[in-house]
Amino acid sequence: MTPPTPPLTQADIDREIEELHKAGDGQEANHPPRDFAPYRSSVLRHPKQPLIPVKDPEATELSGPVFGVTDVTALDADLTKQHLGEPLGERITVQGRVLDRSGRPVRGQLVEVWQANASGRYLHQRDDHPAPLDPNFTGVGRCLTDDEGRYAFTTIKPGAYPWRNHVNAWRPAHIHFSVFGTAFTQRLVTQMYFPNDPLFAYDPVLQSVTDERARQRLVGAYDHDLSVPEWSLGYRWDIVLDGPAATWMEEGR
């Protein structure tokens, strides 16, 4: 009888990450490998077939986001006011700009966010983390960028949560961001983290970005000018769509 495979420990993951970072030779890449072994589920679900070329480019417009300016309201961008009661947790304001590779603003862009609540739990049927749900916090929002490419959200700082990648695996606090472009086929997804999180070194999702400078671009900066007196702490985080300073996106995952 084959003995059972021992569970992966943090030490096992750390060794794998260190080896892969060394193999990168310090070369910056905007996207990590699609099958980054320490991030176990990426090995199972990353795309293995070549991309399918679009024969009729105009047909992609049929799958584009169909909405008008009036369909996205101010309430959508304030996740603390979407229910009758006040959500629990630290209220924060997150603002930034969506920019192209030349630093020009991307106007009228649909930006979506989703996140765990202050206890580190998502309002999702597959999240069985034994942390409390908040009846006054759904954890999803959206807005349109203005003429300067600016977006703004008011929300609750999410909590860290466990996941089953390996023994004692915890994800740092983060907010998922989605930028749609002009069609659903152009959608880009990324994550914003919070400064000085002690879990950074233990997270294979963040560590899959092997270049340290690119990892740092995923961390929002505390901005006291964005903090609202007696209301919320402010964080600034820009999304750069391409080029040498591009924000890492979850390509093909």
Residue 110's SS3 state is: strand
Catalytic residue numbers read 122, 161, 171, 174, 176
Tell me the CA distances in angstroms from 57 to 47, 164, 183, 187, 252, one per residue in order.
22, 40, 11, 16, 20
Contact call for residues 241 and 72 (beta carbons, < 8 A)? no
Task: Please state, in angstroms and rounded to a whole number, the distance separating the CA atoms of residues 173 and 161.
Answer: 8
Tell me the CA distances in angstroms from 16 to 13, 29, 202, one per residue in order.
5, 19, 12
